[in-house]
Structure 1
Amino acid sequence: MNACLRFGIVRRVVKPLLLLLLLQCSMVQAVTGPEVAQLLNTRYSSTPQACPGNHAAYFCSGVLVSGLMGGLPIRFWEHTDNAIALGARSFSYLRRDQGIRSLTQDGGMVFSDPFTAISQGKSLDVLCAYPLMTSIHGNYGCGTGGSLDDPGSCAALGVSDAAGWLTHFQQQGQQPALQCSLSSRIATQFRASLLAHEQLGGSWVTQPNQVQIRNWDAQAPAQVPVQALFYDTTRPGGLRVAQHNQRDYHAATGQWLPILRLDLAGVDGAVFGFNLQDQLYLGYEVARRLSARYFDTAITCADGRPSFYCNGVLLRGTDATALYHSWNPSHYSIANGGVSTTFLRADSRVPRPVWPQGFLFKEVAAPAIHPTTLRCGYPYDGHTGLMPDPCAGYGRCADLGVNSLETWMQLYQTRPYESCSFAPTADGLQLLMEVRKTATMPPYDWNEFILLTWPQDIPEQLPIDAVFYSHEAYYPNDSLAGARYLQDDYFKMTGRFWPIVQLDLRATDDLVFSFTPDDQCLADSCPPPPQAAGVQSMESWFREHGQ
């Protein structure tokens, strides 16, 4: 039964809250990431002194967040030894009128407001409030002097408003470790904690405040009132920690929490944002999209352009090494103006890639800051590495009158690696595919499509869909480790995420491209695997083959 309809919950809620709870119940259904960001921005911008029923402001406004460190041996909803000892965990309360501009961690989790938590049958108990971050112990981390029901420590000192708190703080030498905590049960005292934070002035205002929240049942993660994960866009590394936590939560509950971007300097209260590219589950959609293009064998696109503009998948195999960034063109490609790729499609008869890892491009028509440009194609390995022009080494098919399968077979059947190059037209691509369907497959059984060389060091501008790994490569190696290194290298250079997908060109279940969350590099670092081929042999291969 929906928690909103449980008699026990309705019975416990005071009448002034009943209407608001019923409204909240209509929002319990799953919402999208952009909708969550919008809801949080609305709460962040709302600045009432108190909420309906004379409840503290955090019941209906502001956002409760908790910083999360990476590298801990526990999952983010589980409690540290310190939290277990205290019986509570520390959060910060973000609101537009608080002036907070930084947090203590690169990212963290966002809790729903108590009204929403109640409507979902979840527990959320805010125990006390500090105007500044602190590490006080005592009763739930609220200090001494309070009661179990209301553990705030200020009341025992005769402090109940902002002026009193500021006076006490001055008397303690402005040491955050000696501040007292105000009640979160009494709306006026929680309001006093917010006013005291703002009236501190100076650099104090930009520092985070702190509220203590009672520990929840760590064995029931789906019942934790967590609404989203976030990372601070001004600090490096937060996205990876958020993705690690997103994976763990999904593995435990089957639910995906949205990852949000947080920028506390956001204009007009828009401090939370959502980007699909940040989400770990993006990989499922990318794999589906790649598969759809792979199995689409139309000769032309809907707009009449050659098929590679809308279907098939261009693959750029590469080594995984710290000697260079793998998305950069080699010096051979810079010299001759062409980057070698392989065109994958259900009718291309490509049984394996050359390298066990690399990149998968979006369709050529995909919008990008630096779009790909296809120069020409070869039905088999064109040995283009040392050609001054990789599309003219053995001539262009159109110039040589090679415009039929019969002509190509007569000229190149016995020397397939010396084929003329086909033009990037619908007719040229179709004839190339006919050659691959008909001719005897040589040992180097992949095709070669030449892209126009792009500038160095522009990974975020390239239309790349994913990193791939394959267990069936011509040069086998620890392909997953190689793909993780490429993903890690890209993340460290750009702060962005390319999903890793597995490529299986021999799949019998149509899962040519598949995504698994556990394949992703979610550790602090993913080193390159030992090289299966020495530097000298790799250099020789690139020089001869261009790929």
Structure 2
Amino acid sequence: MTTMIISDGRPPITRPIKTKRAPRTFSRLIYLTALAGLTFNALAEPGDDIAAEMTRYYLSTVESCADGQRPAYYCSGLMIKNTRARPGHYAWNPGRAAVSSGGTSFIYLRADTRFNNPDANTLNGFVFYPYGHAHPPIKKAPQVLCAFPLTTWTHKRDDKGCGDQFDTSAVETSCEALNIHTAEDWVDDHLKTDGNLRKQCGFREVSGRFEEKGAQHFYASLKARSLLLKNSDQLEYDTFETPNKLRLSTWAENPDSLPIMAFFYVDDPYLGSGLAAAQQDQLDWVVENKRAYTPIIKITYPATMKEHAVFTFNQADQRICPTYFDSSRWVLKESKWWLVVTPSACSQAVALFNSQAASKELLALHGADAELNALAPGQSIAEQLQCLASKYRSAGEWNLAPWRSAEGLTQAQVLAADCQP
């Protein structure tokens, strides 16, 4: 494809357009009922794809994966880690307690194990891909050490959070050691303790290395919740108000690969929103640590047993865009090359435009172009982009003058110069 270049009376000069597939401009709530027949390729934005994918995994209530040889978390459901913001600490790195115990806590959300907001004091965190569907595939994921049908204060249990509960006089052990291998047996045992969450046993043989046995025991931990929901009105209420609990082996800081599918936040009517913390996590992950683009998804937990969880991608929630430009081309005017760019839908909607990330994208596309090097570059692309995003966010095209310099100028002075310092 070619385009006409402005030539001021001289013969027209043509240069190929550098372009990307233009994404759709919509951002919408992904409702469960609308997604039953959708394929991921039907949605254009990476965040929309992830919201749809999360919904699909949530709705999938399979008993096992890989022909019964892998637990259900390899192909269905969502493993969710709630985190709290701490200065100088990346959210995906294990905390002191996790390092000390060797285990870290997750919850597992699926349509047949639904619950309302699992931790009203935690408003954000991250979500793992099902292990068999990680993008890109990973060779070694954190091992799932044990699964409890209901939360059980695992930070007060020994054996990496899977063993004896410190707050009881009895000695808690694994379900397998008690000859409990089915959901029915687990419910019978749990009711004998009057539903004491601290005294419940956890299934220990739930990792992929146990193959068929691991798949059966993990599903038993899920089915046990379904049985409790059908037992009595009180047990139904208590179970819905109480999430399950998984313990995963603690990983090292900043591992080469970690199957993070999305960062998430929730809105709480009393405690506020976790969006700002999720935006910081996304910025840390993508920009500071140079990882692949990972979207922020809003999770709305069901308020009643008749409702489902909802996963929402909104461009305005993002701190980083997957791409900042749909296309870019060189235009020659008054003997100087201008770079004309078409901002992406995300660029025009994202709450805080990241000019550094946007300028890196353009330099990756055009850093070796002769047009860029025809005149000494002024090192002001980031400043011009920040100005253009501030003044002309909704414009269909932005004009950049790479030779102009912003050295010694404040952003206010760049704005006063109408983005052409």
| Code of the aligned partner of 2:46 | T
How far apart are 1:228 and its partner, in Å?
0.7
Q: 2:106 aligns with which of 82, 91, 99?
A: 91
Instruction: Report if aligned partners of 1:106, 1:238 keep a CA contact under 8 Å in 2.
Output: yes
Query: Quick one: structure 1 residues 284 and 180, their matched pair in 2 at CA, closer, same or farther if it must change by over 3 Å?
Result: same
* Residue 279 of structure 2 is aligned to residue 243 of structure 1: yes
Question: What is aligned with 1:197?
Answer: 225
For 1:106 and 1:41, how far apart are their aligned partners in 2?
A: 20
> Helix, strand or coil: the match of 1:49?
coil
Summarize deviations over 1:379-418 as a string: whole Å, max 9, x none: xxxxxxxxxxxxxxxxxxxxxxxxxxxxxxxxxxxxxxxx
Equivalent runs, 1:112-511 vs 2, <5 Å: 112-117=129-134, 119-136=137-154, 137-144=157-164, 153-183=174-204, 184-185=206-207, 186-201=214-229, 202-206=236-240, 207-220=242-255, 222-234=256-268, 236-250=272-286, 251-265=288-302, 271-282=310-321, 285=324, 471=410, 504-506=415-417
* Deviation of the 1:61 alpha carbon: 0.8
Partner of 1:411: none
State the identity %: 27
Question: CA separation in 2, counterparts of 1:511 and 1:112?
Answer: 45
Structure 1 residue 106 corresponds to structure 2 residue 123:
yes
Match of 1:61 in 2: 76
Q: What SS class does the counterpart of residue 263 from structure 2 fall into?
A: strand
CA contact (8 A) 1:99 1:205 kept: no
Count of residues paired in the alignment: 279
Q: Distance in 1 between matches of 2:420 and 2:111?
A: 48
The whole-number CA distance in structure 2 between the counterparts of 1:152 and 1:213 is 18
Q: Which runs of 4+ in 1 moved over 6 A?
A: none
Distance 1:119 1:252 in 2: 19
Give the TM-score normalised by the residue count of structure 1: 0.45
Aligned to 2:93: 78
For 2:289, what is the secondary structure of its paired residue?
A: helix
- Name the CA distance, whole Å, in 2 between partners of 1:511 and 1:279: 28
Q: How far apart are residue 361 of structure 1 and its match?
A: 7.6
Alpha-carbon distance between aligned partners in 1 of 2:115 and 2:132, rounded to the nearest angstrom: 24
Secondary structure at 2:265 match in 1:
strand
- Secondary structure of the residue aligned to 1:93 is strand
CA contact (8 A) 1:75 1:248 kept: yes
Q: Which amino acid aligns with 2:186?
A: W
Aligned to 2:9: none
Rounded to whole Å, the distance in 2 between the matches of 1:162 and 1:42 is 25
Counterpart CA distance in 2 for 1:363 and 1:72 is: 35
Judge conservation of contact 1:217–1:224 (CA < 8 Å) in 2.
Answer: no
Aligned residue number for residue 41 of structure 1: 55
In the alignment, the residues of structure 1 paired with residue 420 and residue 296 of structure 2 have an alpha-carbon distance, to the nearest angstrom, of 27
Matched letter for residue 52 of structure 2 = Q
Q: Decide whether aligned partners of structure 1 residues 127 and 72 sit closer, same or farther in structure 2, where only a CA change above 3 A counts.
A: farther
Structure 1 residue 80: deviation in Å?
Answer: 1.1
Deviation at 1:260, TM superposition (A): 0.4
Summarize the Cα distance change of 1:241–1:89 in structure 2 as closer, same or farther, 3 Å threshold.
Answer: same
Q: Distance in 2 between matches of 1:72 and 1:205?
A: 35
Q: Secondary structure at the match of 1:103?
A: coil
- Give the distance between the partners of 1:62 and 1:73, measured in 2 at CA: 31
Q: Tell me, yes or no, if the aligned pair for 1:106 and 1:232 is still in contact at 8 Å.
A: yes
Shift of 1:67: 0.6
Q: What are the within-5 Å matches in structure 2 for residues 7-26 of structure 1?
A: none
1:44–1:269 Cα contact (<8 Å) kept: no
> Distance between the aligned counterparts of 1:141 and 1:204, measured in 2?
23
Please give the alpha-carbon distance, in whole angstroms, between the structure 2 residues aligned to 1:219 and 1:283.
22
Aligned partner letter, 2:101: L
1:106 deviates by 1.0
Tell me how far apart the structure 2 counterparts of residues 152 and 71 of structure 1 sit (CA, whole Å). 34
Q: Say if 2:94 and 2:252, in contact at 8 Å, map to a contact too.
A: no
What is the identity, as a one-letter code, of the residue corresponding to 2:47?
A: G
- Aligned amino acid, residue 174 of structure 1: G
Deviations 1:71-100 (A, max 9, x none): 354211111111012212111111011121
Return the alpha-carbon distance in structure 2 between the equivalents of residues 174 and 212 of structure 1: 21
1:5-45 deviations in Å (ceiling 9; x for gaps): xxxxxxxxxxxxxxxxxxxxxx9xx9811111111111110
| Aligned-residue RMSD, C-alpha | 3.8
CA contact (8 A) 2:46 2:322 kept: no
Unaligned runs of 5+ in 2: 1-40, 166-171, 208-213, 230-235, 330-389, 397-408
C-alpha distance in 2 between matches for 1:31 and 1:123? 27
> 1:231/1:363 Cα in 2 relative to 1: closer, same or farther (>3 Å)?
closer
Q: TM-score, structure 2 length as denominator?
A: 0.58
Change (3 A) 1:363 1:257: closer
Rounded to whole Å, the distance in 2 between the matches of 1:511 and 1:196 is 65
Query: Which of these two proteins has the greater Rg computed from alpha carbons?
Result: 1
By how many angstroms is 1:363 displaced?
A: 5.4
Deviation at 1:102, TM superposition (A): 1.4
Question: Which runs of no fewer than 5 residues in structure 1 stay unpaired?
Answer: 1-26, 146-150, 293-358, 366-469, 475-502, 513-547
Amino acid at match of 1:140: K
